[in-house]
């Protein structure tokens, strides 16, 4: 058993280590960010694998045992473990993803996305915030403990995924096949953001789910002259946009029958919690570059709509002629990528079917409609009264010098619901990216301050959780 004063001393030594090695660590972060691990791009398969191998090597170098690259139906998953914290010590599963979003449009990057740029106390690169930067912070927090104390205050297992940005297809199978590698009292997911860009950290307590489809409307055998055939041949592009437009009503609600059946309404307390968080709508709109926030679903505030309510979006729309000048045709087909964000207790599988059935049902007999499910993931809420939450709050306050606020995120991280459903493992969402850090966009960045304070928070987090018994942490 380690005494409290020993823990304080060891924590301080680990924090000193991070300070002393900061430059070296930032250089190494650049090397990690330079590998283009774009999971969506078939031409990057080898780079994605190289990134997984890089992590395996790092884990091994740190003294993490059984660091392993697992083949999956898609990109590799990396696991590893260090289980020598002693009798009764809790085991924590750490999850991050090492894949990144495609970097286009490339011309909008000030420097190429995989050549990290340091400016204004920020590192700019694809994956800086989402999520390689955060994964890297975990590696360094572990390194700090291992290089100073020679041990960790908790048992840690690692679960690093390479398919998060494309729907996490392999994880359910992996979780059920490898439960023994993931067994833990709690999971820590670092794949979200802090509360603001001024150094207020956050503990996440919700994520939206997602369901994603491709819709294709087919008309004439091939493009036809719109003068010769217009008025007689139904235009697939007209039909598609009519169908898509009919999916939301005047109150900003999605019109597919049954869609809201399982939506858990916000309680008065939850609404009060939303209302109590500082939020400047004008600044939010300016930062985003929109004239004003959209109307959205009637009866809900902007903040509520951004994370506690489902939404519908057209992600892409194409077909027909889009070249220079004009071409007078009725196109043979038109297509769209569409998605919904889901909230508890919506079931993405049920919604996937409902939308397919609905689109087929509303298609006019003049066209043929094809609908493919692309991916889906379940929404999640994590309990705020979980015993690990208070420990995480103390760790974040120690690292950032400011107490965290609690927020629900509008984004999706499918593993959170999957770990709960398959293994009963609850998650603490401790994210370090900057909320305006251009996730999925050109010039993605993370502040060096969040990297530094976040790594310090992780050093504290392992000490805080290590001071709890496994039974206590499980709640
Ligand atoms: N890290 C994000 C999700 C996120 C964003 C959490 C902001 C908290 C705050 C994650 O990498 C992501 O982008 N997920 C995808 C999932 C999808 C491809 C299944 C998403 O939300 O679009
Ligand atoms: Mn992410
Ligand atoms: Mn992402």
What confidence tens digit (pLDDT) does each residue in 267-298 have?
999 999 999 999 999 999 999 999 999 999 99
In a domain, 299, yes or no: no
Is 60 exceeded by the pLDDT of residue 471? Answer: yes
The answer on 436 and 407 residing in a single domain is: yes
Claim to verify: residue 182 and residue 241 sit in the same structural domain: no
| pLDDT given at position 474 | 86
Chain-wide mean pLDDT for the chain? 97
pLDDT at 364: 98
Is 137 found in the same domain as 83?
Answer: yes
- Work out the percent of the chain whose per-residue pLDDT is above 70: 100
Residue from 97, 100, 165 whose mutation best tests the ligand 1 pocket (most atoms within 8 A of CB): 165
Note whether 138 and 214 are same-domain residues.
Answer: no
Does residue 357 lie within any of the structural domains? yes
If pLDDT is split at 50, 70 and 90, which confidence band does 80 have?
Answer: very high
What is the mean pLDDT of the segment spanning 118-122? 96
Cα three-residue angle 168-171-177, rounded to 5 degrees: 165
Q: Does the C-beta of 444 come closer than 6 Å to ligand 1?
A: no
Structure tokens at 352: 């996937």
Output the CA–CA distances (angstroms, integers) from residue 226 to 320, 366, 367, 445, in the order listed.
12, 16, 16, 47
Q: Residue range 414-424: average pLDDT?
A: 97
Residue 457 lies in a domain: yes
Residue 228 CA to ligand 1 center (angstroms) comes to 47
Please indicate, yes or no, if residue 288 is contained in any of the structural domains.
Answer: no
Distance 413 CA to ligand 1 centre (A): 6
- Give the confidence band of 185 by pLDDT, cuts at 50, 70, 90: very high
Answer whether residue 26 shows pLDDT above 80: yes
Give yes or no: residues 62 and 144 share one domain. yes
Residues 229, 99 share a domain: no
Q: Which of 377, 410, 435 is the last residue of a domain?
A: 377
Judgement on whether residues 338 and 461 belong to the same structural domain of the protein: no
pLDDT at 4 over 90: no
CATH of the domain at 139: 3.40.630.10
The string of pLDDT tens digits covering residues 192-243 is 999 999 999 999 999 999 999 999 999 999 999 999 999 999 999 999 999 9
142 and 179, same domain (yes or no): yes
> Ligand 2 (ion): which residues have CB within 5 A?
130-131, 191
Whether 295 maps to a domain, the answer reads no
Residue 240 lies in a domain: yes
Residues 202 and 214 in one domain: no
Query: Is 285 a domain residue?
Result: no
Q: What is the mean pLDDT of residues 381-409?
A: 96
Judged on CB neighbours under 10 Å (0-12, 13-18, 19+), 274 is buried
Which range of residues forms the domain containing residue 166?
4-208+379-474
Total structural domains in the chain? 2
* 440 and 323 in a common domain: no
Question: pLDDT tens-digit profile of 314-360?
Answer: 999 999 999 999 999 999 999 999 999 999 999 999 999 999 999 99
Q: Probe ligand 1: pick from 131, 439, 441, 450, max atoms within 8 Å of CB?
A: 439
Q: Which of 377, 394, 416 is the last residue of a domain?
A: 377
Q: Is residue 441 part of a domain?
A: yes
**pLDDT tens string 28-38:** 999 999 999 99
User: Of the residues 377, 401, 435, which one is the last residue of a structural domain?
Assistant: 377
Answer yes or no: do 202 and 229 share one domain.
no
pLDDT, residue 1, reads 56
Same domain for 165 and 116: yes
CATH number, residue 329: 3.30.70.360
């Amino acid at each position: 058993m380690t005494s409290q004063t020993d823990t304080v001393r060891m924590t301080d030594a680990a924090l000193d280590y991070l300070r002393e090695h900061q430059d070296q660590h930032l250089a190494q972060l650049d090397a990690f960010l330079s590998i283009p691990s774009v999971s969506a791009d078939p031409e990057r398969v080898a780079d994605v694998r190289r990134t997984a191998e890089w992590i395996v090597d790092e884990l091994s170098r740190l003294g993490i045992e059984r660091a392993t690259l697992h083949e999956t139906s898609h990109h590799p998953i990396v696991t590893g473990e260090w289980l020598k914290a002693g009798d009764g010590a809790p085991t924590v599963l750490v999850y991050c993803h090492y894949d990144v979003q495609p970097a286009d449009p490339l011309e909008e990057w000030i420097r190429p996305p995989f050549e990290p740029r340091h400016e204004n106390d920020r590192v700019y690169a694809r994956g800086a915030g989402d999520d390689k930067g955060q994964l890297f912070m975990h590696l360094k927090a572990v390194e700090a403990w291992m290089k100073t104390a020679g041990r960790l205050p908790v048992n840690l297992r690692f679960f690093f995924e390479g398919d998060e940005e494309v729907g996490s297809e392999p994880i359910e199978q992996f979780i059920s096949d490898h439960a023994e590698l993931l067994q833990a009292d709690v999971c820590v997911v670092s794949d979200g953001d802090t509360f603001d860009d001024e150094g207020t950290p956050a503990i996440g307590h919700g994520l939206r789910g997602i369901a994603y489809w491709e819709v294709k409307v087919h008309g004439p055998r091939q493009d036809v002259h719109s003068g010769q055939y217009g008025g007689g041949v139904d235009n697939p592009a007209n039909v598609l946009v009519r169908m898509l437009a009919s999916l939301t009503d005047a109150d900003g609600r999605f019109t597919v029958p049954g869609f809201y059946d399982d939506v858990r309404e916000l309680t008065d307390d939850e609404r009060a919690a939303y209302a109590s968080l500082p939020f400047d709508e004008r600044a939010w709109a300016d930062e985003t570059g929109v004239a004003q926030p959209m109307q959205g679903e009637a009866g809900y505030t902007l903040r509520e709509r951004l994370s506690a309510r489902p939404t519908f979006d057209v992600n892409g729309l194409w077909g027909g002629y889009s070249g220079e000048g004009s071409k007078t045709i009725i196109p043979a087909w038109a297509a769209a990528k569409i998605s919904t964000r889901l909230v508890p207790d919506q079931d993405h599988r049920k919604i996937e079917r409902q939308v397919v059935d609905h689109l087929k049902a509303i298609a006019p007999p003049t066209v043929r409609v094809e609908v493919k499910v692309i991916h889906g993931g379940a929404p999640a809420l994590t309990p705020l009264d979980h015993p690990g939450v208070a420990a995480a709050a103390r760790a974040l306050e120690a690292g950032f010098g400011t107490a965290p606020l609690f927020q629900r995120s509008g984004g999706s991280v499918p593993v959170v619901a999957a770990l709960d459903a398959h293994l009963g493992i609850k998650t603490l969402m401790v994210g370090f990216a900057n909320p305006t850090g251009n996730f999925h966009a050109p010039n993605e960045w993370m502040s060096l301050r969040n990297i530094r304070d976040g790594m310090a928070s992780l050093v504290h987090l392992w000490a805080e959780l290590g001071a709890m018994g496994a039974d206590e942490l499980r709640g």
